Amino acid sequence: MLFARFKAIYTHKFASAYSNPDEVKLAKREWAIALKGFQEPLLAYAVERTKEEHSWPPTIADFLKLISTAYKAYGLADPRSAYLEACSCRTDPLQYKWSHPAVFFAGSQAGWYKLKSEEERVSWPLFEQSYLKIVDRVIAGERLIIPKVIMIEDKQTLSVKDLATKIANDLSVDEEKIAPLLYYTQKTYGSGVRIRYREISQKKLLEMGYKDKLPK
């Protein structure tokens, strides 16, 4: 589809750049490898910019630069910049000033601990895969909002003790029965352990008659 667009845009210039079927076949293969993972909206945006900025068919390098500007058009960082931003977070991710919520959600899915501790050859593919999927959602029109959750150290939000008191009062039970079920809040936000512990606690509270959702 991309080469068909280029052929329609550049007509004889395209034919001059790719003069025989073997060259076209080889070029399509290289372009397919270079553009793997990029979704249609980003490619379409880059094609439109190509018409404005290039009088001849662009090279792969030229086109990749235009895709980078496409990210900016949606208020997003390119995947590599987003990865470096996520890795640079040395505070609580919920309190960090992200360039875009997509970086936060991709970091959460990849795992903050892995981003800080694993080698790049491990952490980069995990983050890139998550980020590209989230970018697709943003381009499709989804609005991402970083959640506000209960944080033990943050006195401006509801503390774990206050939550335990609230749940205990709602269920008419002692706080001592509720406190262990909030142990998950001491685990790293977004980690698999925290998610599993929360699910277990949520199930137990539901059995006790508590129907409100626990904070993530």
Domain positions in the chain are 2-73, 79-139, 160-208
Long-range contacts of 46-52 (CB under 8 A, 24+ apart): 46/70, 47/2, 47/5, 47/6, 47/9, 50/6, 50/9, 51/9
Mean pLDDT of 134-150: 81
Percent of the chain with pLDDT over 90: 27
Contacting residues for 80 by C-beta, under 8 A, at least 6 apart = none
Better pLDDT: 59 or 183:
59
Instruction: Please say whether the dihedral angle defined by the alpha carbons of residues 187, 130, 62 and 66, taken in this order, is positive or negative.
Output: negative
Better pLDDT: 84 or 170:
84
The pLDDT value recorded for residue 149 is 54
Mean pLDDT of 189-196: 83
Percent of the chain with pLDDT over 70: 95
The pLDDT value recorded for residue 84 is 96
Q: Is pLDDT at 139 greater than 70 in this prediction? A: yes
Mean pLDDT of 16-45: 85
The pLDDT value recorded for residue 155 is 41
Question: What would the two tokens of residue 135 be?
Answer: 């970018």
pTM of the complete model beyond 0.75: no
The pLDDT value recorded for residue 157 is 46
Confidence of residue 94 (pLDDT cuts 50, 70, 90): confident
Q: Is pLDDT at 151 greater than 50 in this prediction? A: no
Window from 108-117, 123-132, 159-168 with minimum mean pLDDT: 159-168
Q: Is pLDDT at 91 greater than 70 in this prediction? A: yes
Confidence of residue 130 (pLDDT cuts 50, 70, 90): very high
The pLDDT value recorded for residue 111 is 87
